[in-house]
Homo-oligomer: A and B are copies of this chain.
Amino acid sequence: MSSGEDDLIARYFKPLATDPGALGLTDDAAVLAASHSDLVVTTDAVVEGVHFFKHDPPETIAKKALRVNLSDLAAKGAVPAGFVLTLALRGADENWLAPFARGLGDDATAFRCPLLGGDTVSTSGPLMISITAFGRVPPDGMVRRSRAEPGDRVVVSGTIGDAALGLAVLAGRLAVGDLAIREALIGRYRVPEPRVGLAEAVRTYARSAMDVSDGLAGDLAKLCTASGVSAVIDATSVPLSPAAQGLIAQGKASFEAAVSGGDDYEILCTVPEDRFEAFAQVAHSVGVAVTSIGAVVAGKTAPRWLDGEGREIVLGQLAYSHF
């Protein structure tokens, strides 16, 4: 009675459906049991040729598809609860599906975010993976984009720009001789590090937050717009990896590209001045560096970026747009 589609689901995806609410992927729907938590829902899709390359390893494609959603949950202060998956495939190629499911399963386990359900459809076009992920926060606990206040510090996790440089390497626009640096940058593009461990600290200390997916400069502008505020950023404090610093120093990459490229999947948040030290300490204790890069100010103009001498840097295109 079973079709190719059912076989595919049973073989590759049922092992990932470890939550009882997934009903072993044998039903039409999954259940998220009633709880005292609010449920945070986020959805992000990745498309071949846009968010990943056709010949990227299937494991990393799977990980990126899940991690971009985990990054949203972390920025909202939510603890992962599970996800559903829509997979649009040109065919059922086992040599692709097996490592894809393995990568997805490894991350579902590592981040405690089990597969709850999904749909598999055929397409003649580019491969596409759409994930809707769920996380839990205490009632009214979701951290919004819209609550930044003048005086807050503007804070980012990790380092900015590495993924954009990795993409430039993969696209042949940037030559990097050092193999280790090359691989590290590509790794940041292919497999982002969602700051899941930082979720509780964000909820405790941040007034507003979002994840940096379309470029720091553009995403900061969005956060400011949503909050009805502006910001002043000290460009010299933006955390850059040694690799990015080196490439900028050599003139092979620009600071502008680092802060307007996408795919960082770091957390951008605003933290009241008197809570910043505690936030940084808790972040450090879970292994994540957070850096203050400026301050929220009153006003509705675009955030201003200042160089080491306090002169304004004019940034061009701020963010990636699909259209």
Contacts and interface: CB of A to CB of B under 8 A. Distances in A.
9 nearest CB pairs, A to B: A125-B125, A3-B321, A4-B323, A29-B42, A132-B132, A1-B221, A32-B39, A86-B130, A92-B323
A5 B319 CA distance: 11
Given A42-B117, A142-B31, A124 B122 contact: no
A99 to B, nearest CB: 18
A318 B135 CA distance: 38
A47 B124 CA distance: 9
Given A43-B84, A128-B123, A38 B32 contact: yes
A4 B323 CA distance: 5
Interface of A: 1-6, 8, 23, 26-47, 49-51, 72-73, 75-76, 78, 84-86, 88-89, 91-92, 116-126, 128, 130, 132, 134-135, 139, 142, 144-146, 210-211, 214, 218, 221-222, 225-226, 302, 318-323
B225 A121 contact: no
A226 B26 contact: yes
A124 B211 contact: no
B117 A49 contact: no
Contact of A26 (B26, B72, B145): B145
A323 B8 contact: yes
A92 to B, nearest CB: 4
A318 B3 CA distance: 9
A31 B38 contact: yes
Residue from A210, A302, A322 with most neighbouring chain B CB atoms (10 Å): A322
A49 B3 contact: no
Contacts of A89: 323
18 contacts: A3-B214, A5-B323, A27-B226, A28-B75, A28-B210, A28-B211, A29-B42, A34-B37, A43-B118, A43-B119, A44-B119, A45-B119, A47-B88, A84-B132, A119-B130, A121-B128, A128-B128, A130-B130
Nearest to A322: B122
Nearest to A145: B27
Nearest to A1: B221
